[in-house]
Amino acid sequence: MSPLVSLDRAAAVLRTLPPSCGPVRLIAVDGHAGSGKSTFSTLLAAALGGAPVLRLDDLATHDELFEWTGRLLDQVIAPLSRGESARYRPYDWTLRRFGTPRPLPAAEVVLVEGVGSGRRALRPHLARLLWMDREPEASWLRGRRRDGPALSGFWDGWTVAETRHFAGDPSRPFADTLVRELPEGYEWLPGPNATAGANHSVTEREHLTPPYRAVGNPPRRGPNSA
């Protein structure tokens, strides 16, 4: 039987996890740029009843594609761990500057989506790490086609930076669940962390149900969007 799990059922499982960051169950959705993280996170957030989503494109900048750990820990993790709403300043990729502070409530479940969301510094605060399981070359090609030739130079630099990041701080080996996009829905598989002994993947805890049909695409921001 194919491991297809509805997002409603997956959301119900995520709500049962122990809090990981103060009262919050912090769920990371990581994967290569162009792998489908933004679309999936938007659908999962809806299944969770409108769970807040932190997009890492809002913390990265043109000059700091992956050097946003300090901002994340100070502006988001620290207040959430105290049970307080976080406030972060989203980066404007057009104006190249940080904007007006935006609130992020300490909800029951909060999603953090973006390349590197499963990084070493963040993992101790996560209740679950989901990895969008699409190969890097296929993901990058998808992103390049989406953005067009005007951003080809940016993508050239991005792929080098992403490769360097994951070489030094990989996320996939620590993923609890691998999520694969299908023509209609998502396939959920135990991740390397689950098969290594954690034994708490969605597919192992829940009966399988028909796939969730993804309809429509959310607006994109930076390279993490898909």
H or E segment to which residue 110 belongs: strand 109-113
Confidence (pLDDT) at 3? 60
Residues facing 186 on adjacent strands: 181
The mean pLDDT value of the chain amounts to 87
Full-model pTM: 0.86
**Angstrom distances, CA of residue 57 to CA of 13, 51, 191, 196:** 27, 18, 25, 31
Model confidence at 41, pLDDT cuts 50, 70, 90, reads very high
Confidence (pLDDT) at 7? 92
Confidence (pLDDT) at 184? 85
Distance CA 193, CA 173 (A): 6
pLDDT at 14 over 60: yes
pLDDT at 211 over 80: no
Closest CA to 171 of 24, 31, 1: 31
